[in-house]
Structure 1
Amino acid sequence: MSIVTTQFVIQSGWSPIDLNSALRIVLCCEASTIDGRRKGACLFCQEYFMDLYLLAELKTISLKVTTVDMLKPPPDFRSNFDATSPPILVDNGLAVLENEKIERHIMKNVPGGHNLFVQDKEVATKIENVYSKFKLMLMKGDDHSKQVLLSVLRKIDEHLGQKKTRFLTGDTLCCFDCELMPKLQHIRVAGKFFQEFEIPAEYENLWRYMHHMYLLDAFTQSCPADQDIINHYKLQQGTKMKKREELETPSFTTSIPASVQVE
């Protein structure tokens, strides 16, 4: 099902891209590995989806997001992009294919993009190891790896407590939020499923942060279903999905602990 507004076209499933069209920015994202149509669990795809969605909300760009089933890529996708995997950004006919180049292009060439990419070394340092520590915890699952991940999350919680702002650098979203929040969602969903790992309720600043993110269309429109996040890591582990999982109605975890007070 497509969501269509004056500034967005968010489409489930691939449709051909006119590389000569200058009507909109197109972001190609990986499709679900379960149904091949809805949003997949690629972290970079969601990060750039959020960046561009925020700019489209500000009406600096017109945006189309489309999903691509990389298990069965359409012939015209291969003819345009060879074996390149999403995310792929197409801007005024120019295809940008590498993650670092996509980020740089949004920052320097997309109208309003430079406002998202703030400079904050403290925040950059605090969030840089979140995902690597999460992956280590998924692999090992021992108390030490869990404590290491908790330590990283606690530092982010303390930072938010000191800042007393809704987001990492202030009360408006920036690139760091678009990078961190998809990873936190993977930690919530996959950490719980594979290792019974949960973010402690006492990390109240972090939970309030996640609550504010859950209220934003930029996050909810770009967020993959819980089942797709779980299957993303099952595939990495070489585990096959069960038939009943293919038939499940997609669910999205967006609750926070009842003990956490929010404004």
Structure 2
Amino acid sequence: MADAGAVPGLTTNVALKEKPRVTVFVRSSKGGSLAASPMAHQILMVIGIKVDCGVIPESKLTITHVDDSRPMPSSLRSHGISRVPAVVIGDTGEDDPETIISLLDRHYPGGLDFPLQEEKNISDDNDSPPSCEKNEDTPEMASRDFFSRFSFCVRGITDSSEHLDVALHRLNSFLLKKQSQSYHDDQPSPWICGSKLPSLLDCEVLPKLHHVRVAGAAGLAGQWMVAEWSIPGAWPGIWCYLHSAYSMPAFIRSCPSDKEIILHWADRAGANNLPAGVKDKIAKLESDDIPKISWFVPARADMVFLD
């Protein structure tokens, strides 16, 4: 008979001892710190949440930083893996982010608000990313465009921030609606699916949103910028969402420094195409002894609703 007080997704100590070891490989910077990669941040955030919830014991987890200038570790080469982020769980190695998440949840289910199988709106043999719900006004629809629009700005594909601003405004409006709905249901939630705990989609969206916040404020949102671009302080849905991420240990531990994020996007803009002033900022960041990470928000980001 099952224990009535058991937590779904958690297993006994005996069962945990039989679970395979999880080894995560992520790219390191020249200085040895965590390099900026939204995909790596997503995977580390998922793992971090599972560790904090007791789903993955710390004794079963190893995180290895990989230097691009050196050969891939033999444990990755033996699985035919030539890129990171990658994960080796037991005898299985994967470098596809969607498959990594599926593999993690198969061996260590639970921790996130929506178990992987419950989120899927597709057959069990398909490893496509999960969906929180299925209608026109979904979290996926609200969050799907802002990152690609930002990338277009950085790469100079577009000469206007209009599409980026529209995509972020759509996300802000959706988050406000979701936060207000959860408040009136007496279950306040800052998460994009309105859930009690962060979902897999939060682990995908929040690292990307943080990249946009940091790189955009550094002037990397496009050469056409007369001044530094930033997410408007008048968009409380987004800032409340980021504030929740900055209050989460799993996000904090897996977050790269501002310097690494700016260097990541400067590389994509091209050294010869950097906006005026960005090169000086990069030089200053490289001379700083203590890495800076932007955790601040423009004002209190608590949810406030007036009846």
Instruction: Please say whether Structure 1 and Structure 2 have the same fold, judged by a TM-score greater than 0.5.
Output: yes
* RMSD of equivalent CA atoms: 2.5
Q: Which residue of 2 aligns with 1:60?
A: 55
Of 24, 45, 49, which residue of structure 1 is paired with 2:44?
49
Larger radius of gyration: 2
What is the correspondence of 1:12-161 to structure 2 with a 5 Å cutoff? 24-32=21-29, 34-35=30-31, 37-62=32-57, 63-73=61-71, 76=74, 79-80=77-78, 84-112=82-110, 115-117=114-116, 118=119, 119-121=132-134, 122-140=138-156, 144=160, 146-161=161-176
Stretches of structure 1 lacking an aligned partner (at least 5 in a row): 1-20
Q: Which residue of 1 aligns with 2:239?
A: 207
Q: Deviations over 1:143-199 (max 9, x none)?
A: 63x121111111111111111231101231001110011111110111121232200
Quote the Cα distance in structure 2 between the aligned partners of 1:81 and 1:244.
40
Q: Which residue of 2 aligns with 1:173?
A: 198
- Stretch moving more, 238-247 or 218-227: 238-247
Of 253, 257, 263, which residue of structure 2 is paired with 1:225?
257
Stretches of structure 2 lacking an aligned partner (at least 5 in a row): 1-17, 120-131, 180-188, 222-227, 273-278
- Stretch moving more, 243-252 or 171-180: 243-252
Quote the Cα distance in structure 2 between the aligned partners of 1:182 and 1:124.
15
Identity of aligned residues (%): 25
Structure 1 segments, 4+ long, off by >6 Å, are 240-243
Q: TM-score, normalised by structure 2?
A: 0.70
The 1:198/1:158 distance shift into structure 2, 3 A limit, reads same
* 8 Å contact kept, 2:81–2:93: no
Quote the Cα distance in structure 2 between the aligned partners of 1:237 and 1:82.
31
The one-letter code matched in structure 1 to 2:100 is: I
- Stretch moving more, 52-61 or 235-244: 235-244
- Stretch moving more, 106-115 or 62-71: 106-115
The 1:75/1:160 distance shift into structure 2, 3 A limit, reads closer
Number of aligned residues: 239
Q: Does residue 180 of structure 2 align to residue 183 of structure 1? A: no
Quote the Cα distance in structure 2 between the aligned partners of 1:163 and 1:74.
43
Q: By how many angstroms is 1:136 displaced?
A: 0.9
Q: By how many angstroms is 1:82 displaced?
A: 5.3
Quote the Cα distance in structure 2 between the aligned partners of 1:209 and 1:72.
38
